[in-house]
């Protein structure tokens, strides 16, 4: 196991301050920061650094390569989560890991740890249209993997503004809202004008030719006049869900004590 000079200096400073015992320092030095498989170097230290384990981007990997990564994470007692998983690879993985939870719409797979704590923080995921649902479901599964309470609201785009108002009681109290929209990408700005929390806009590639595969929605969202709207990449449901999960998890303690 190799350790970076910066990490070693930080550990030695912790020892000098008395924050860690000599035995604890040795234990940390002996703990692997990554574990190699035939196809990958699994970052098993990411949970300690960033709060959540490494997520497996399954596209471009064989089912066997994904399984090897999952086995490393399971050995480290980390909650496995994979995105962009095709149906054929999912079939193999479910045979090898029968306890896994697969969402075919979201194209995600999860192997949860036993005895998980109760969810904390509230995330709402909204779609402008039914065609945006796969991206939204990816955000939903991501936020759930992060331990959040998640509500999904579908098909309330700006073409029928009354639908948004009907659903408003179900999203105004959220810690973070994810809005997946294609076409012109107007919905996040409208939602942003109704809530006092961050809105993560996810442009989708849904739309006719002039939508340019989601580019029109992306530009519309970037130009939002709603101050609480931020934007992630086209079809990036995972990124939208992850950011919302971070916000919700950090908001949860304040909600409990208020």
Tokens for 194? 């109704």
C-alpha 244: how far from its chain's center? 8
Q: Rg of the chain's alpha carbons, rounded to an integer? A: 20
How do strand 41-42 and strand 35-36 relate by DSSP bridges?
antiparallel
d(CA 111, CA 158): 37
Q: List the one residue out of 52, 33, 55 whose CA is nearest residue 44.
A: 33
Predicted local distance difference test score (pLDDT) of residue 149: 95
Q: List the one residue out of 136, 140, 120 whose CA is nearest residue 128.
A: 136
Given a contact cutoff of 8 angstroms between Cβ atoms, the answer to whether 238 and 138 are in contact is yes
d(CA 141, CA 144): 5
Predicted local distance difference test score (pLDDT) of residue 25: 67
Strands in 199-203's sheet, in edge-to-edge order, are: 149-153, 122-127, 176-181, 199-203, 229-231
- Mention every residue, 6+ apart, whose C-beta is less than 8 A from residue 257: none
Predicted local distance difference test score (pLDDT) of residue 116: 80
Predicted local distance difference test score (pLDDT) of residue 120: 87
What is the torsional sign of CA 205, 211, 212, 214? negative
35, β-bridge pairs: 42
Predicted local distance difference test score (pLDDT) of residue 46: 82
Q: For 60, how many CA atoms within 13 A lie in the half-sphere containing its CB?
A: 4
Predicted local distance difference test score (pLDDT) of residue 257: 38
Q: What is the pLDDT along the chain (258 residues), one digit of tens a residue?
A: 445 566 667 767 777 887 778 777 666 665 557 676 777 787 777 887 888 888 999 999 999 999 999 998 888 889 999 999 999 999 999 999 999 999 999 999 999 988 888 888 999 999 999 999 999 999 999 999 999 999 999 999 988 989 999 999 999 999 999 999 999 999 999 999 999 999 999 999 999 999 999 999 999 999 999 999 999 999 999 999 999 999 999 887 654 433
Predicted local distance difference test score (pLDDT) of residue 198: 96
Predicted local distance difference test score (pLDDT) of residue 8: 67
């Amino acid at each position: 196991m190799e350790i970076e000079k910066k990490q070693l200096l930080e550990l030695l400073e912790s020892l000098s301050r008395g924050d860690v015992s000599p035995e604890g320092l040795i234990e940390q030095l002996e703990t692997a920061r990554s574990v190699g498989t035939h196809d990958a170097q699994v970052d098993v230290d990411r949970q300690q650094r960033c709060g959540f384990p490494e997520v497996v981007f399954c596209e471009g990997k064989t089912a066997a390569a994904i399984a090897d990564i999952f086995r490393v994470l399971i050995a480290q007692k980390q909650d496995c989560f994979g995105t962009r998983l095709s149906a054929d690879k999912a079939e193999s993985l479910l045979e090898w890991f029968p306890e896994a939870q697969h969402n075919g719409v979201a194209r995600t797979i999860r192997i949860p740890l036993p005895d998980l704590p109760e969810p904390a923080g509230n995330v709402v995921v909204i779609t402008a249209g039914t065609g945006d649902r796969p991206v939204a479901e990816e955000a939903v599964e991501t936020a759930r993997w992060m331990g959040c309470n998640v509500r999904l609201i579908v098909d309330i785009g700006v073409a029928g503004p009354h639908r948004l108002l009907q659903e408003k009681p179900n999203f105004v109290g959220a810690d973070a809202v994810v809005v997946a929209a294609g076409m012109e990408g107007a919905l996040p700005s409208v939602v942003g004008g109704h809530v006092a929390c961050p809105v993560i806009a996810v442009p989708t590639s849904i739309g006719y030719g002039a939508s340019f595969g989601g580019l029109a929605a992306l530009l519309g969202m970037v130009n939002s006049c709603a101050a609480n709207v931020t934007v992630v990449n086209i079809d990036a449901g995972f990124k939208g869900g992850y950011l919302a999960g971070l916000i919700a998890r950090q908001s949860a303690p304040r909600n409990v004590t208020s």
